[in-house]
Structure formats: C-alpha cells, structure tokens
C-alpha cells in the first residue's frame, strides 16, 4: 500500500500518488495543447477546404485517402474476391482431382497511388491467372470502402488495371461549368482569331486557311476526370447523340457548332422538323434541309461529293484527304442530323420510298465519309428497333457515342450497350435536375461521364453572325436563304 491513499496500488513500479500529483499540471497542459492543436487543425482544414480546396486536397485530403486505401485493401480484396494464389488450387487425392479455395490467398499489389486535381490514380498489379473483370465489378465496392464519389477501372494494359478515383462529382460541383464562352481556333493554322477579353464580340474574321485535323476537334465541356470534353472527328469520324427533351442535347450541338463555325469547315444541317432546331445556325450552314425530301436531295449530293473526292485521292495517290496537298485539299464537311426518327418513321407508301432514299444515302455517307472528310453527327430523342433494320447498320458506323438523359432503356442500350455494356447503368442514373450530363466515348476503348458547356442563344447568335461569311459553297448544294 502507498502511504496517504488507502487501497491504492500503483500499476507501474515507481509511480506513486505524489509523483502523479506532481505531474498533474504537466498532463493537463499537454492535454490542453493537444486539444488546441487538433482544434486548430480542424479550423485550418475547414478554411482550406473553403478558400483553397486544391491546397486542402494535397495537404490533408489525399494523405487521408491514401491511408484509407492502404488500411482497407486486405479486407476489400478478401470480401470482393480479388485475391489470387501462389499455389495450385487443384490437387490429386487417389484417383480424384480435388479443387478448393486457397487457404493462404495472395493480395494483388496496390501501387503508384498518386494525387490528381480530381482525386487520385492508382495501379493494381495482377497475379498470373487473374483477369480484370472482378476489379471492374468491384469498382462500386472500392468507392464505398474508400468513401469517394466513384472509381473507374481501366483494364486495357496487360497484367495490370488502372484506377481513376474521383473524390466528388465535378460535373455538379460549384464552378464545374465554365463562366464564359470563348470561341477561337486551335493552335496552328485556322480561320479566325479570338479576343477573350470581350466574350460577346470574341470573333474577328481572317482569311480562311487550309483545314488541318485540329480543326475537327470541338471542345464542348468538361469530363468527370477533369479533362476537357472534346468531340474529335479525327479519332471518331461519326457520332450518335441521344437525349430526351430538356436533357441538354440542343445545347451540346450548339456548343459543337460554335466551335466548328470558326474553323475552315463546312456545316450541313438536316432538320426534318421544319428546321426549328437548326434554323439559328442557318447563316453558317452550307445547306439546310427542313423536310425529308430536301434531306434526301442534300444527302444524295453529298454522296456524289464523296465520289468526287475518291477520284481526287486516287489521282494523288492518297488514302485520305489529309494526305492531299493543302492547295487541293477539299474542305471537311460535318453533317448534323437532328431528330433521326423523322428520317425513318413513315405513315404511307410514298413516305416509305422517300425515307428509304434518305436513310440509304445517310448510311452510304457514314460508310464512305470518314477518309474523305465527310463526317456525320446523328442526334435524336430516342433510337429503337422500331425504326427498322437500317438504323442498326447506321449505328454500327457511328463509333462515337453520347447518351444524355433518356426516357427509355432501349435507347440507352442502342446508344451504349453494343460498345460499353457497363455504361448502361451509369447512363440510366443521370440526374434529371442536372442538364447537360452525358455518358460518352472517352477514347478508343472506354467511356466516361461528361457535361457540356452552356452557350446562351445570344452568344450562339453572335458566333454565327461573326462566322457566316466563312460558310463554303459545296458542289450541288444551295446555302439556306437568309
């Protein structure tokens, strides 16, 4: 017993009540200091998150995420069946082969966790015999385990999978949408110059130059990984865009047209709903069809133009127009078809023949146009098998896909299901309250969510008015009346 405190027995030798009483002020001071430091860090973290979110992410957010990833990796792999084995799982017992679960599972290696402005990236090294599919299926489990918005799994590299970790949804967070619209050419030869200091009068016309491949890339918004969303007609010559009313489809088309309008590119509109959607673009269009009969004539003229370009390429020994000398290179043509259903759906025999003529020419353009500088952008509120067998053949030629919010599952599957089955669920979960969000082709072997920039009618009108004189005249086509 220690004198002065009956029943007290120190747990540690040499620690007495007198010593504890002597240390009490120091202990209290240390607790107060630690509490003050924790409080100060919490206040600093809150201020940094609000005033300097990027600094907060790199100093505090990413280290905590990395710690969570390392701490939960073993449990995540075991629960999601992501483990491998360094021993055979099949053995011989007498005349029988016995197969079972490995007693000592081996975890795949989580490496190269790197911070990014949108979150982080990491690489998982697979063991021999492992395939990427379980990791693709476990993306949602990873997001829940690490407390992040989403995890995207890229399985193109052999022997490894790459993780893109998104800490928040940049498509709906404040500031994700550009505040101003700047129109101008890409680096290199182009047709106009821009002055960002005056966004409403941003275009000053210059002499059009020969088109270059960079002219076909239109920046239309932002992807969820922080990169620019670009509709690039060099990477994907033809595109399919689907979206219900008020989903942002028209805004997306306007943004793309505004980019191409400032380039040495010919724009042709097919709008069989009386031209209501594409009429604002008319001054910059080389031709505009407002009904199916006009559409068939314009598409036929464009097919004839592709035949002429074939002969030009044969004459110069070129496989596509970009191998032609600049002085003879024909202008690229972008054909925008708004509301595909108006071309396919018929109510009489006469309409059937007319529709067959228009859709056959459209399919022919999609088959021949890629190397000849004729590109097709097909848009509609829905795409379905009821359009007829021709729509499936057309869809096969449209490698670029954009699916905004739609009202039926078949349209989602027709847009994305044949190329990206795992993107169908993501497209069906698009929030109707957030306009302009889409699931789109990211590159040659993947998809990603993106959101288009908003271009007001006044800004669009200013762009079209400033670039109207750049509309080239195409053989066999008459520019729309002013």
d(CA 251, CA 255): 6
Cα dihedral across residues 230, 231, 237, 243: positive or negative: positive
Lowest mean pLDDT among 90-104, 220-234, 348-362, 465-479: 90-104
pLDDT digits (tens, 9 = 90+) for 346-397: 777 778 888 888 999 999 999 999 999 999 999 999 888 778 778 889 999 9
From residue 365, how far is each of 300, 357, 376, 444 by CA, in Å?
9, 12, 8, 22
pLDDT bracket for residue 243 (50, 70, 90): very high
pLDDT of 38 above 70 = yes
Q: What is the reported pLDDT for 131?
A: 85
Vertex 120, ends 172 and 419: CA angle to 5°?
A: 70
pLDDT bracket for residue 445 (50, 70, 90): low
The count of C-alpha atoms lying within 13 angstroms of the C-alpha of 439, restricted to the half-sphere facing its C-beta, is 25
pLDDT digits (tens, 9 = 90+) for 151-206: 888 877 788 898 988 888 777 754 444 434 444 444 443 333 333 333 333 333 33
Global pTM value = 0.74
Q: What is the reported pLDDT for 306?
A: 95
From residue 456, how far is each of 180, 258, 280 by CA, in Å?
10, 11, 12
Q: How far is CA 68 from the centre of its chain?
A: 28
Which secondary-structure segment (H or E) carries 333? strand 333-338
Q: What is the reported pLDDT for 83?
A: 84
Q: In angstroms, how far apart are the furthest CA atoms of the chain?
A: 113
Q: What is the reported pLDDT for 226?
A: 76
* Mean predicted confidence (pLDDT) in 394-422: 90
> Three-state SS for 443?
strand
| Residue-wise burial string across 458-476, b where 16 or more C-beta atoms lie within 10 A, e elsewhere | ebbebbbebbbebbbebee
pLDDT of 303 above 90 = yes
pLDDT bracket for residue 150 (50, 70, 90): confident
The chain-wide mean pLDDT, for the chain, equals 82
């Amino acid at each position: 017993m220690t004198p002065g405190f009956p029943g007290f027995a120190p747990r540690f030798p040499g620690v007495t009540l007198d010593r504890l009483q002597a240390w009490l002020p120091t202990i209290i001071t240390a607790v107060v200091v630690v509490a003050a430091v924790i409080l100060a860090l919490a206040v600093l973290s809150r201020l940094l998150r609000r005033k300097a979110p990027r600094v907060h992410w790199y100093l505090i957010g990413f280290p905590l995420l990395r710690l969570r990833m390392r701490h939960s990796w073993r449990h995540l792999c075991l629960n999601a069946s992501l483990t491998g084995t360094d021993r055979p799982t099949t053995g011989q017992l007498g005349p029988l082969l016995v197969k079972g679960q490995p007693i000592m599972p081996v975890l795949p290696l989580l490496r190269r966790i790197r911070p990014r402005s949108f979150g982080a990236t990491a690489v998982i090294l697979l063991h021999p015999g492992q395939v990427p599919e379980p990791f693709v299926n476990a993306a949602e489990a990873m997001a829940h385990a690490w407390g992040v918005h989403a995890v995207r799994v890229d399985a193109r590299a052999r022997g490894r999978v790459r993780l893109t970790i998104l800490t928040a949804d940049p498509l709906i967070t404040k500031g994700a949408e550009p505040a101003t619209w700047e129109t101008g050419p890409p680096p290199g030869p182009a047709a106009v110059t821009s002055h960002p200091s005056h966004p409403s009068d941003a275009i000053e016309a210059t002499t059009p130059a020969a088109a270059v491949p960079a002219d076909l890339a239109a920046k239309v918004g932002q992807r969820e990984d922080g990169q620019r969303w670009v509709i690039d007609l060099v990477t994907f010559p033809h595109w399919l865009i689907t979206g219900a009313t008020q989903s942002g489809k028209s805004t997306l088309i306007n943004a793309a047209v505004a980019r191409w309008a400032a380039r040495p590119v010919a724009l042709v509109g097919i709008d069989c709903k009386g031209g209501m959607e594409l009429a604002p673009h008319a001054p910059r269009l080389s031709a505009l069809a407002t009904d199916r009969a006009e559409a068939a004539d314009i598409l036929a003229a464009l097919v004839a133009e592709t035949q002429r370009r074939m002969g030009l390429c044969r004459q110069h020994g070129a496989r596509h127009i970009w191998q032609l000398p600049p002085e003879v290179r024909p202008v690229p043509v972008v054909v925008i078809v708004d509301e595909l259903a108006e071309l396919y759906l018929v109510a009489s025999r006469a309409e059937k023949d007319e529709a067959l003529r228009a859709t056959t020419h459209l399919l022919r353009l999609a088959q021949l146009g890629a190397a000849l500088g004729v590109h097709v952008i097909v848009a509609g509120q829905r795409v379905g098998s009821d359009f007829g067998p021709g729509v499936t053949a057309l869809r096969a030629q449209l490698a670029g896909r954009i699916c905004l919010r739609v009202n039926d599952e078949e349209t989602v599957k027709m847009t994305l299901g044949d190329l990206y089955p795992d993107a169908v669920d993501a497209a069906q979960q698009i929030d109707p309250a957030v306009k302009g969000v889409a699931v789109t082709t990211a590159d040659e072997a993947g998809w990603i969510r993106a959101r288009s920039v908003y271009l007001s009618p006044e800004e669009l009108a200013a762009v079209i008015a400033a670039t109207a004189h750049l509309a080239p005249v195409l053989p066999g086509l008459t520019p729309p009346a002013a």
